[in-house]
Amino acid sequence: MKKQDENCEDKHSHKVKVTLNGEKEKIVSGSYKVSDLKVLLGVPSDYEFEIVEDGEFKPLLNNSEIVICGHEEFVSHVKSGGSSQ
């Protein structure tokens, strides 16, 4: 994952737009623990949460930190794998 905080033009917190599963959301820019960001965006804690960068889906771990600058794109979905029937 790229160091997003180096790419933020404005270091002050303000409302920015991010995309979650194709829907625009407004949140305050800044540093978030991924688990807290999921709560803020209404993503169930047991769902996969990924950031889309350069067309690639990159998983975000609940205990990692992410800096939100605006225009980030996220997807969430039920965890895949497990048993098959």
* Residue burial 8-40, b: 16+ Cβ < 10 Å; e: rest: beeeeeeebebebeeeeeebebbebebbebbee
Hey, what CATH topology would domain 4-77 get? Ubiquitin-like (UB roll) (3.10.20)
Confidence of residue 70 (pLDDT cuts 50, 70, 90): very high
pTM of the model: 0.82
pLDDT of 22 > 70? The answer is yes
pLDDT value of residue 42 = 97
Q: Is the pLDDT score of 85 beyond 70? A: no
